[in-house]
Chain A
Amino acid sequence: MSTTATTTAGPTSPTRGRGRSRRVREGGSGLGSAALTLFTWLLAIGFFMPVLWLVLTSFKQESDAASNPPTFFFRPTLDQYRAVFEAGAGGYFWNSLVATVVSTVLVILLAVPAAYAVSIRPVAKTKDVLFFFISTKMLPVVAVIMPIYVVAGRLKVLDNVWTLVFLYTAMNLPLAVWMMRSFFQEVPREVLEAAQIDGASLLTTMRSILIPMVAPGIASTALICVIFAWNEFFFALNLTAADAATVPLMLVSTMTSEGLYLARLSAASVLASLPVVLAGWIAQKQLVRGLSMGAIK
């Protein structure tokens, strides 16, 4: 685990444990190593180019944004960002925030006890339960969208942000159960036994021992849920209209309703992506664990 942590840190930080073997490996081939580093950098910049282009475009005037050949030098402007906010970005962001935060809190509240019941004090058919949870992740969403649409229509909850909260909770719950299980399994058994001997009740054990020990796990589970909920598009597209539309729909409306405003679309895209990009940059290590549903630590 410590090796993963050291790579996320900057180049100047000491690399514990890895240093020795690496030095043996790269001894002598200074020039080859420098070339490889250069190659890696060029590849990374090339791969990152579309993102850089998106950010650059967002600071352009529309005439510079759609030019042939592409405009590389221009006077940056914040006009596009201003336009995005004036077009009512606030409402979209508010809906996304509610759908993301509330669904994530619900997921954690449901997943932590469930994960406890498939790890620390397991139910009889733990494997089947885990199997069931992950199998729902494999069901194509499109196979359930019609009944959800029809039922939501009957219940008069179409275009309602709480419908999204419900669905995003269901969408992320299986993932969270698997992830939290992997964190619970790391809790040393001695700690739990000690608590039992001390006569601590289940709730006390939960609150004062287990939860603090898996708090980092809860944080990385929440991060993954936030990413998926924030970026979700399919449900939002089909189940919301004017009132409950989320940020991805803001991008779509920027694109379709008023012709092609490339620079403004770019500004909207940057704003839409920023929360998740920042969170992901900061928590790179948690990301790996989350994406593998806890399998890779």
Chain B
Amino acid sequence: MPASSTPARQRPAGRRRDANPAVSRGARSDAQRRDAWSRRLPLLPALVFTVIATQIPFLITIWYSLRSWNLLNPASDVFVGLSNYAAIFTDSTFRQVALNSVLYTLGCVVAAMVLGTLFALLLDRTFRGQGIVRTLLITPFLIMPVASATLWGVSMFNPTFGLVNWVLGLVGIEPLDWTSSYPVLSILIALVWQWTPFMMLLILAGLQSQPKDVLEAAQMDGASRLQTFLHITLPHLRRYLELSVLLGAIYVVNTFDQIYLMTAGGPGTSSANLPYYIYQRAFLGFDIGQAAAMGVVVVVATIVIANFALRLIFKGFMSTEQN
């Protein structure tokens, strides 16, 4: 990995032609233009496709957000300016589900991170059945999210015959009605279960990319395991941790399946997150204008956060590539 990735990042051979002084100015800009287009050409289909599929719908969403359109009442489709946006800021439910979104994302990423690091550290040694243990641990991530949501919602958390209550009963804890009494926690548990393997895999890759000679040298110098971990492993892991937190957050913030299937956002809207709430307003309330405005607000918020996050991701990518 280290040697092979470096040369390709240097300036490509094609660029060097520009330095030829013999070419006259006009011909040169012509050749340059042709060169630029021949570079762009392979990119265009993917770029155009992505713009059509993602940017145009978003522009339409902005348009919808300025109208008061209810699907059940076509006559309601009139221009209302920013009143849909004004409604959002007085909507206490919106604030609450926004808070839930933050709670799910932070809670899941942090918990999955801690568990994933623990698993990765346990897996980063040679022991009997290592391959099998690793395989068992990644499986929750591979299970179809809809299946894992129903598995937790129905088989695990069921108040009468659920496995979780039975296990708790073994240690003398009274059965709980998980998804009704603790809907957010229930969803969070299901999410952490699904995302821990993701974190584990990325961190494990980080652990295994540690230069072994440095670890050996530390040991020769009499460093304890804890010292080695704190001063060598952890700094090395830092960008892997950053990367897994950010990538994990990108996926978890859009969580829908677990909420739809385990609690339907309920009771009331107490366990809904933003995607689920907007979905509810659009497809169960048919309130396209209002839902679109919420969508736009979420996107703007995402852009603000993402601007910061993407910089970190870029840094993370560039530094792992140099590794």
Contact = CB atoms under 8 A, between A and B. Distances in A.
Interface of A: 1, 3-4, 7-11, 15, 17-22, 24-26, 33, 36-37, 39-41, 43-45, 47-51, 53-54, 57, 66-70, 110-111, 113-114, 116-124, 127, 129, 131-151, 166-167, 169-170, 173-174, 177, 182, 184-190, 192-193, 196, 227, 230-231, 233-234, 237-238, 247-248, 251-252, 255, 260, 262, 265-266, 269-270, 272-273, 276-277, 279-281, 284, 287-288, 291-293, 295-297
Interface residues of B, number: 117
Contacts of A133: 50
B298 A140 contact: yes
Interface stretch (B80-88, B143-151, B176-184): B143-151
Nearest to B8: A185
B110 interface: no
Contact of A142 (B14, B160, B295, B306): B295
Interface of B: 1, 4-5, 7-10, 12-14, 36, 39-43, 45-47, 49-50, 53-58, 60-61, 64, 119, 122-123, 125-148, 150-152, 154-156, 158, 160-161, 163, 166, 193, 196, 198, 201-202, 204-206, 208-209, 212, 215-216, 219, 240, 243-244, 247, 250, 253-254, 256-257, 260-261, 274-275, 278-279, 282-283, 288, 291-292, 295-296, 298-299, 302-303, 306, 309-310, 313-314, 316-317, 320-321
Which 5 A-B residue pairings sit nearest by Cβ, starting from the closest?
Answer: A170-B53, A143-B295, A113-B42, A114-B46, A147-B60
A15 to B, nearest CB: 6
Contacts of B303: 135
Contacts of A123: 36, 39-40, 43
A120 B144 CA distance: 36
Given A238-B283, A251-B146, A281-B142, A54 B50 contact: no
A111 B7 contact: no
Contact of A188 (B4, B137, B156): B4
Given A7-B130, A36-B127, A143-B298, A21 B212 contact: yes
Contact of A41 (B129, B193, B298): B129
A188 B8 contact: yes
A296 B205 contact: yes
A4 B205 contact: yes
B58 A144 contact: yes
B259 to A, nearest CB: 11
A284 B126 contact: no
A44 B298 contact: no
Nearest to B159: A68
A140 B154 contact: no
A158 to B, nearest CB: 13
A116 B102 CA distance: 37
B146 A296 contact: no
A139 B250 CA distance: 9
A291 to B, nearest CB: 6
Given A113-B46, A190-B7, A255 B209 contact: no
Given A45-B136, A70-B166, A295-B316, 20 more contacts: A21-B216, A36-B122, A44-B133, A47-B196, A110-B46, A110-B49, A113-B45, A139-B58, A140-B298, A142-B274, A142-B295, A186-B5, A231-B144, A251-B144, A265-B154, A277-B139, A280-B138, A281-B135, A287-B138, A293-B317
Contacts of A293: 247, 317
A117 B306 contact: no
B166 A68 contact: yes
Contact of A295 (B142, B155, B201, B317): B317
A11 B131 contact: yes
B79 to A, nearest CB: 17
Given A17-B212, A36-B127, A119-B8, A231 B122 contact: no
Contacts of B150: 251, 255, 265, 269
A47 B54 contact: no
Contacts of A121: 12, 14, 39
A22 B125 contact: yes
Given A67-B161, A138-B250, A50 B193 contact: yes
Contact of A262 (B155, B215, B250, B288): B155
A147 B56 CA distance: 9
B138 A143 contact: no
A134 B313 CA distance: 10
Contacts of B154: 255, 260, 262, 265
Contacts of B61: 143-144, 146-147
Contacts of B45: 110, 113-114
A40 B133 contact: yes
Given A173-B49, A255-B150, A140 B299 contact: yes
B140 A33 contact: no
Contacts of B257: 233-234, 248
